[in-house]
Structures are given as structure tokens and as C-alpha cells.
């Protein structure tokens, strides 16, 4: 303990230190016996500078001082500040509250100031989650009314770095509230998210941004970096050298924001939440951007005298419920696996026995697994076409009518209704995203009885004035996927002979630049296969040979170049339109928001994953993998989470895609912006069918080949939104 008196205040710092860090010349007393390990320093004239406290308690207290015979003592204003080990994941508010309650436990309640400080030291020994406590006492001029503590306020401090990474604040309870006040110290871009699900700021989240656009505006958004629902011009609303205080209310499904700490006063933003966007707020999180660090402060009132902690006795009923929940969680995972198998196979059917085999269902669980299939059917997610054969079925869209028919033969259509543009997808989420961009659509699943594995799916409709057809390639673990893909494309072109342009839309793996923002491609971006200097739009690497006595490699690769430049010219036109648009959203950003409403009822989640999951790694020559920062944006208008469009070749080939150094070398040599899982067999079939206009549009879902799932749905959505903008440009 170190004590100091300054400016009429007494401060006592209690902290843990290693023996080697103790200056023994400053020690006044070394305690023994039950107080062994406690050292009291000589009274100091100043305190060492430390990092800001992460929490504090403030209260008025009246403690009798037996050494003072004057019975008219005043109440004192006490502040307890707390520091915790860095990177600690504990609930700091709970630890502070537990420490204080133990400190003022009626059984050991100190009766004077010296006893209070001694008690604080003893209790600190029992709380190894706390690194440092500082007690500050200031005498007030108000007379003491009784011996009790007044209202006890807990202050939680949160520090956000110059990086758009949300930090959840479990210490601040909001599930039982409809109002929150806080202080913020930042130069700009203070984000606070009110969420229904802990750890998820994308779905069911109201985001409030203060001091956006260079501290000139503020927004209420639907989801992190989502659509703006309310905005206000707020020049210099926050500062980095002084706390500014605000309140947020979400009562009666109205998100409101105002200045100060009094709910309802100085309101400057309001959003009346529509029914389909309403939820219960259960947690909050905060962030600042690359351009500002932030210090946040939240205030709570602590219950002064909680019930004494009781030793909990085992509860058999509770344990039984927990065991039941564990089993239910396991079956939820198995249900998702079964659904995933059917989505991969779609539009093909899979027999019940094959589903159980692919999902590794044990013989003793067969009956339960059959019940799961029936439950999925009841929810409209799958359909039993014939006895024991199942197929995945898209759910009815909430915003658009979309009929799904299972047929053996497609209906006749007039030449005017024949599609001129074909869209090819490989993942179920890619197909959903593409179809969300199509109007007046109808889906036909062409299934021949007794022919498991030979179904086709065609969604016909319009994008603008263009008639389009979309299909999906079945991808199954036990099938030859290249052959299946080629056959799917052949049947598509044989069925719809008027098709002139083919778009391959879906996910891919980004090729990052570690030191050049202008060349950098990251998750959530779109890559369009418009090459540099009329090069290849797609390159498939089939073989790699190391050059003898050299660090270089020779790559055996096949290049694909469409002869018809219609789609590439349309891409350049759209690029010019977007780059010359100064204000407003890009076309694809508008289509994404519209599609999000259409897709919200689907089983898949198309919201943008948290930006903190976009981690970039670099593999050194010794195979050591290190995490890197993304290159800093040079574009002053860039906002975190904004989708950027990159242009360059798309490549494939597991030999290069999965070997980091070869991947970068091959990419840099050929102006490659992304890799995918391999569509060379489709391009071979297109070339063989004399289809000379084709283009790849890829949304980035990982840094390999697009096979990682977390970003797949969102990446599919951004690719499909760009596809719609491109078709409308034709």
C-alpha cells in the first residue's frame, strides 16, 4: 500500500507486485502473522503514473473515527478505482461488486478509516482477478444522516483501439432495461451496438454511430454497418480530450438517441422499428474505427446489501435438465449436418440410408434421425419426392412470390420467354442469393423417377428487361463433381438454346496484398474476372515443377479467354459509373439491402459476419505463420465493412491454392485476384458449345478457395448483387 495526500484528498493505492519490483527503501512496515505478504510504504508525495482505471465505485460513507472526539463528523465521498490484468476475460463489474460487498460485509465491517484500509488490503489478497485498487477519500460539507452507505455507483471503463473491432461489455446489464446512458471520449466514429445475441452484431442489432464521416454526422443502422435508418448532422459531437455524454432508448420499439444522461432530453435521432425488425436487446458492444481510439464509461447502481452467498446443494432435476440440453445440442448439430448434405446434393435427391451414412448416424440413433428428417419436412426445408428419397426445398420468400415445382418435363415456352443469360452456381447459398435478385420467378426441379443423382434445377425470371435462368451444380462427397458440373452445363445449354451469356456467380478465396491497399482484396469484397491487358480471365493450374538449382517454379496452366467481349465491356461501363458517382450508395449496395429483406426467412444467415473474424495471416519461409494487419486504406471515403470491387483473373488448382508461397507467386505472376474450387470443366464445356461470352463474379469468403463457411452466405450475396447491377447495365 502506498498513501498520498493531495489537493484535500487522501489516496491509497493497493497493488500486487513481484518481490523484484519492490523498492525496499520505501517500505515503512512489513506485516506478519495473518497479514503476511502485506507491505505498507512510507507516505509519498506523488503516485507513479499508471494506465487508466477500468472501473470504479463511488459512494458517500460515514465511518466513525474513535480518535476524533467530535461527534459531528461529516460524510466522506469515497472512490474505489480498479485495474485488472490485461487481456482478462472476467466480468469486471461482478468482480468489483463482489470485492466491495466483501469489504463492507456486516460480519467484518470496519468501524474507522484505518480499519477500512486494512480490511481493503486483506480482501484484495483473496481477489487475484484484481491487479490494483485505489481508494480516494474526499471530505464533503454535508452532515452525515446515518451510518450507512448512500447509493453506490459502479463505473465501467472500456477502451477501444484504432481498429473497427467490437468489444462486448457483459458488465453492463441491459436485458432488463429500455434505456442506457454513457460517456465517450473519441475523435470520431464511436459505434455502439445493441444486440439480441451475445457475440453477434450483424443479426438482430441496432447500431448507433456518433461522429461519423469525420465527426460530422451520426447514424442509427439496422445491424453493424447495415442500412442507415436515421441520421443527423452533428458537427464535432464528440471529442478525444473530454467525455461527452449520451443516452439511447429502445422503449416501445423506438430507437432514440440524445445528448446528456437524462432519458428523453435533447433527442436528435429516432427510428421507429418495423415489426419484422423487432427483438429484445440483451447485450451491448462498442467500437471505434481505424481513425480513432475511444474511452467509454458506463454507470450502474449496485445493490448495497445482497443476500449472503450460500453453498449450493446439488439439484438432481437441474442436472437432468442439463444432460437433456446436451443431447439436444448434439442433435441440433446432426440436424444441421443432414441439411448440409441435402444442400450440397441439391437439386439431386439422396436416399435415407445414404444420408445416415454421410452424417455418420449410428445404428442405435436411426429412429431419432428419421424423426429429425420428418421435422425438417414439416418445417418446409426438405421434401420426400419418392419413398425414402429426399431433396432440399427453398423456403417461400417473404417479400416475393416464388413458386417451386417438381416436374419430370419442363413446360414449353415462347421464344420471347427464352432466357438469354444463364447463371451458374455451385453452393446452395449462392443459388438463394442469385434467385433473390430475380423477379417474376418460378423454379422447376426436374426429377426423373428412379434416377437418384440426375436432377436439374432451373429458376426462370427477369432482371430488368433481361430474361435469365439460374441453375446449381450438385456437389456430393461420393460423386465425381467435375463430371457432374460438365453434364449440368450441357443440359442447361441443350434446354435453353437462346442463351448468349453465361455468368458464374459465387464465392472465392481472396489474394491479399500485405503492403498495398490498392491491390488488397479482403473478405466481403467482390472480384470480377476482367483481366489486365486482355489477358486470361480464368487460369487452371494442373502441375508445378521446381526449377533445378533455383527458388523458382514452372506452372503448367490452362488459360481461358472469352472471344465475345460484351460482358467485359459492360463491366467497364459499370465500373466507370460507380467511380464517377460522388454521392449515394453504389447500385449493388442497394440491391444487397433489398435482397436481405427477401432472404431473411431462409435458414441461412446472409448478414455480414463480424469484421473481427477477417483475420489475415502470412506464412514465412520457415513455415511460421503470423497474423498481420490489413493494409491501411488510402481512400479517405472508405468505411470499414464497405464492399470493394477488384478486377483481375480468377484461378484454381489445389496444388497452388493450398500452398501459401506458391499461391502468392502464381497470383503475382498472372494478375490473379482470387482462387475458387475449380470450374475448368465447365469452361471446357462452354468452349465446346461455342458459348463465347462468359464471366466470373466471386464474393470473397476466405483466403484459400472459398470453401470456408463463415463468410460464404454474405460473399454469395455481394457477388449476386454485383451480378444484378451488371445485367442491368447490358
Which tens digits make up the pLDDT trace of 450-497?
A: 555 578 999 999 999 999 999 999 987 555 667 788 899 999 999 999
Distance (Å, rounded) from C-alpha 354 to C-alpha 376? Answer: 17
Per-residue confidence band for 305, with pLDDT thresholds at 50, 70 and 90: very low
Percent pLDDT > 90 in the chain is: 43
For the stretch 607-635, pLDDT in tens is 888 887 888 999 888 888 888 888 888 77
Q: Tens digit of pLDDT for each residue in 130-142?
A: 999 999 888 766 5
| Nearest of 140, 147, 198 to residue 173 by alpha carbon | 198
Is pLDDT of 310 > 80? no
Whether the CA torsion 640, 645, 648, 649 is positive or negative: it is: positive
Q: Which residues contact 379 (CB under 8 A, 6 or more apart)?
A: none
Residues 91, 723: Cα–Cα separation, whole Å? 46
Q: At CA 582, angle to CA 579 and CA 586, rounded to 5?
A: 65
Compute the Cα dihedral for 628, 629, 633, 639 and give only its sign. Answer: positive
Q: Which of 522, 548, 549, 509 is nearest to 666 (CA)?
A: 509
Query: How many CB atoms neighbour CB 496 within 10 A?
Result: 21
Secondary structure tally for the chain: helices H, strands E? 14, 37
Quickly list DSSP for 108-133.
Answer: G---SHHHHHHHHHHHHHH-TT-SEE
For 376, 388, 487, the CA distances from 384, given in Å and listed in that order, are: 10, 7, 25
Comparing C-alpha atoms, which of 641, 640, 639 is closest to residue 711?
A: 641
Cis peptide leading into 569, omega within 30 of 0?
A: no
Cell 439511447 belongs to residue: 248
User: Which of 86-90, 393-397, 440-444, 692-696 has the least mean pLDDT?
Assistant: 86-90
The total of other beta-carbon atoms located within 10 Å of residue 116's CB is 19
Per-residue pLDDT, 66: 46
Residue 669: its H or E element: helix 660-670
Question: Going along 124-261, which residue ranges are E strands?
Answer: 132-143, 152-160, 167-168, 179-186, 190-195, 205-211, 217-222, 227-233, 244-249, 254-259
Highest mean pLDDT among 394-398, 548-552, 688-692: 688-692
More confident residue, 198 or 61: 198
pLDDT at 198: 81
Task: List the alpha helices (DSSP H) in 263-315.
Answer: none
User: Any idea which residue has 526449377 for its cell?
Assistant: 547
630 Rama sector, left if φ>0, alpha if ψ -120 to 50, beta otherwise: beta
Write the secondary structure of 586-652 as one string of H (helix), E (strand) and C (coil).
CHHHHHHHHHHHHHCCCCCCCCCCCHHHCCEEEECCCCCEEEECCCCCCCCCCCCCCCCEEECEEEE
Predicted structure pTM score: 0.70
Contacts made by residues 399-402, CB under 8 angstroms, sequence distance 24+ = 399/597, 399/598, 400/439, 400/441, 400/598, 402/435, 402/441, 402/442, 402/443
C-alpha cell at 274: 418495423
Q: Which residues pair with 505 in a beta bridge?
A: 697
d(CA 384, CA 205): 37
Helix (H, G, I), strand (E, B) or coil at 282: coil
Residue labelled with grid coordinates 440413433? 365
CA distance between the termini of the chain? 75
Determine the average pLDDT of the residues in 642-647.
91
Burial (CB < 10 A; 0-12, 13-18, 19+), residue 530, is buried
Alpha-carbon span 290 to 615, nearest angstrom: 15
Please report which residue ranges of 295-365 form alpha helices under DSSP H: 316-345, 352-358
For residue range 49-100, list pLDDT tens digits in order: 888 888 888 877 665 554 444 554 556 778 888 988 876 666 787 788 888 8
Distance CA 680, CA 431 (A): 20
Q: Which residue has the cell 443432414?
A: 338
- What's the confidence (pLDDT) of residue 7? 77
Give the residue, 484 or 284, on which the prediction is more confident.
Answer: 284
Whether residue 555 contacts residue 656, with contact meaning beta carbons closer than 8 Å, is answered with yes
Longest dimension (CA), the chain: 106
Helix, strand or coil, per DSSP, at residue 715 = helix
- pLDDT classification of 280: cutoffs 50, 70, 90: very high
Closest CA to 237 of 284, 179, 189: 189
- Please give the Cα distance from 520 to 21 (Å, whole number): 46
Burial of residue 311 (CB within 10 Å: 0-12, 13-18, 19+) is exposed
- What does DSSP say about strands 625-628 and 645-647: parallel, antiparallel, or unpaired? unpaired
CA pair distance 3, 6, nearest whole angstrom: 10
Average pLDDT of the chain? 86
What pLDDT is attached to residue 458? 96
- Bridge partners for 527 per DSSP: 646, 698
Q: What is the DSSP pairing of strand 466-472 with strand 421-425?
A: parallel
Q: What percent of the chain has pLDDT over 70?
A: 91
Element (H or E) spanning 716, and its range?
A: helix 712-729
With cell 483501439, the residue in question is 161
pLDDT class of 638 with cuts at 50, 70, 90: confident
| Cα–Cα distance measured from residue 366 to residue 92, given in angstroms and rounded to the nearest whole number | 47
**Within its chain, how far is the Cα of 706 from the centroid?**
17
CB burial readout 317-330, b (16+ within 10 A) else e = eeeeeeeeeeeeee
* Rounded distance between C-alpha atoms, residue 179 and residue 194, angstroms: 11
**φ, ψ dihedrals at 594, nearest 5°:** -65, -40
Amino acid at each position: 500500500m502506498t498513501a498520498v495526500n493531495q489537493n484535500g484528498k487522501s489516496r491509497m493505492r493497493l497493488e500486487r507486485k513481484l518481490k523484484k519490483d519492490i523498492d525496499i527503501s520505501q517500505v515503512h512496515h512489513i506485516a506478519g502473522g495473518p497479514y503476511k505478504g502485506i507491505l505498507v510504504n512510507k507516505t509519498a508525495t506523488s503516485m507513479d503514473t499508471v494506465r487508466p482505471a477500468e472501473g470504479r465505485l463511488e459512494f458517500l460513507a460515514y465511518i466513525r473515527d474513535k480518535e476524533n472526539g467530535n461527534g459531528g463528523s461529516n460524510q466522506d465521498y469515497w472512490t474505489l478505482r480498479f485495474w485488472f490484468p490485461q487481456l482478462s476475460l472476467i466480468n469486471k463489474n461482478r468482480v468489483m461488486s463482489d470485492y466491495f460487498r466483501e469489504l463492507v460485509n456486516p460480519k467484518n465491517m470496519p468501524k474507522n478509516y484505518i480499519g477500512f484500509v486494512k480490511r481493503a488490503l486483506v480482501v484484495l489478497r483473496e481477489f487475484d482477478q484484481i491487479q490494483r485498487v485505489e481508494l480516494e477519500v474526499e471530505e464533503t460539507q454535508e452532515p452525515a444522516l446515518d451510518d450507512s452507505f448512500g447509493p453506490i455507483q459502479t463505473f465501467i471503463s472500456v477502451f477501444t483501439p484504432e481498429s473497427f473491432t467490437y468489444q462486448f461489455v457483459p458488465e453492463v446489464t441491459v436485458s432488463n432495461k429500455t434505456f442506457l446512458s454513457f460517456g465517450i471520449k473519441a475523435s470520431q466514429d464511436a459505434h455502439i451496438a445493441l444486440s439480441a445475441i451475445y457475440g453477434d452484431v450483424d443479426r438482430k442489432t441496432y447500431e448507433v454511430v456518433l461522429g461519423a464521416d469525420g465527426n460530422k454526422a451520426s447514424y442509427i443502422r439496422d445491424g453493424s454497418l447495415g442500412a442507415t435508418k436515421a441520421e443527423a448532422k452533428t458537427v464535432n459531437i464528440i471529442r478525444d480530450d473530454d467525455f461527452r455524454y449520451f443516452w439511447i432508448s429502445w422503449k416501445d420499439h423506438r430507437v432514440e438517441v440524445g445528448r446528456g444522461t437524462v432519458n428523453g432530453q435533447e433527442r436528435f435521432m429516432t427510428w421507429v422499428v418495423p415489426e419484422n425488425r423487432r427483438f429484445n436487446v440483451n447485450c451491448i458492444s462498442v467500437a471505434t474505427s481505424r481513425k480513432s481510439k475511444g474511452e467509454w464509461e458506463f454507470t450502474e447502481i449496485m445493490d448495497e446489501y445482497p443476500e449472503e452467498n450460500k453453498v449450493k446443494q446439488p439439484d438432481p432435476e437441474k442436472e437432468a435438465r442439463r444432460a437433456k440440453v446436451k443431447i439436444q445440442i448434439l442433435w441440433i448439430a446432426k440436424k444441421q449436418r443432414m441439411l448440409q448434405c441435402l444442400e450440397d446434393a441439391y437439386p439431386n435427391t439422396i436416399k435415407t440410408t445414404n444420408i445416415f451414412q454421410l452424417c455418420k448416424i449410428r445404428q442405435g440413433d436411426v429412429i431419432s434421425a428419421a424423426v429429425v428428417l420428418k421435422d425438417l419436412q414439416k418445417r418446409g426445408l426438405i421434401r420426400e419426392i419418392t419413398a425414402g428419397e429426399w431433396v432440399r426445398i427453398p423456403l417461400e420468400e417473404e417479400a416475393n412470390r416464388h413458386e417451386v415445382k417438381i416436374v419430370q418435363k419442363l413446360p414449353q415456352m415462347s421464344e420471347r420467354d427464352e432466357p438469354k443469360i444463364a447463371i451458374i452456381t455451385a453452393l446452395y447459398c449462392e443459388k438463394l442469393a442469385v434467385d433473390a435478385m430475380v423477379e417474376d420467378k418460378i423454379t422447376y426441379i426436374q426429377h426423373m423417377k428412379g434416377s437418384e443423382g440426375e436432377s436439374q434445377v432451373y429458376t426462370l425470371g427477369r432482371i430488368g428487361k433481361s430474361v435469365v435462368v439460374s441453375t446449381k451444380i450438385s456437389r456430393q462427397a461420393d460423386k465425381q463433381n467435375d463430371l457432374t458440373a460438365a453434364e449440368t452445363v450441357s443440359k442447361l445449354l441443350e434446354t435453353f438454346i437462346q442463351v448468349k451469356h453465361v455468368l458464374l456467380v459465387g464465392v472465392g478465396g481472396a489474394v491479399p496484398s500485405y503492403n498495398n491497399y490498392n491491390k488488397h482484396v479482403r473478405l466481403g469484397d467482390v472480384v470480377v474476372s476482367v483481366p489486365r491487358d486482355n489477358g486470361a480471365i480464368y487460369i487452371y493450374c494442373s502441375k508445378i515443377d521446381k526449377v533445378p538449382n533455383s527458388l523458382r517454379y514452372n506452372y503448367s496452366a490452362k488459360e481461358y479467354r472469352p472471344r465475345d467481349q460484351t460482358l467485359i465491356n459492360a463491366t467497364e461501363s459499370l465500373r466507370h459509373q460507380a467511380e464517377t458517382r460522388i454521392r449515394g450508395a453504389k447500385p449493388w449496395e442497394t440491391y444487397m439491402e433489398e435482397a436481405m429483406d427477401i432472404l431473411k426467412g431462409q435458414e441461412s444467415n446472409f448478414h455480414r459476419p463480424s469484421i473481427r473474424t477477417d483475420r489475415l495471416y502470412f506464412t514465412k519461409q520457415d513455415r511460421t505463420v503470423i497474423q498481420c494487419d490489413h493494409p491501411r486504406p488510402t481512400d479517405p471515403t472508405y468505411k470499414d465493412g464497405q464492399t470493394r470491387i477488384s478486377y483481375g483473373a480468377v484461378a484454381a488448382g489445389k496444388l497452388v491454392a493450398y500452398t501459401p508461397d506458391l499461391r502468392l507467386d502464381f497470383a503475382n505472376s498472372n494478375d490473379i485476384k482470387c482462387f475458387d474450387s475449380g470450374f475448368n470443366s465447365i469452361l471446357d464445356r462452354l468452349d465446346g458449345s461455342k458459348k463465347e461470352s462468359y464471366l466470373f463474379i466471386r464474393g470473397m469468403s476466405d483466403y484459400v478457395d472459398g470453401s470456408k463457411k463463415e463468410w460464404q452466405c454474405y460473399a454469395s450475396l455481394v457477388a449476386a448483387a454485383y451480378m444484378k447491377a451488371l445485367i442491368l447495365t447490358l
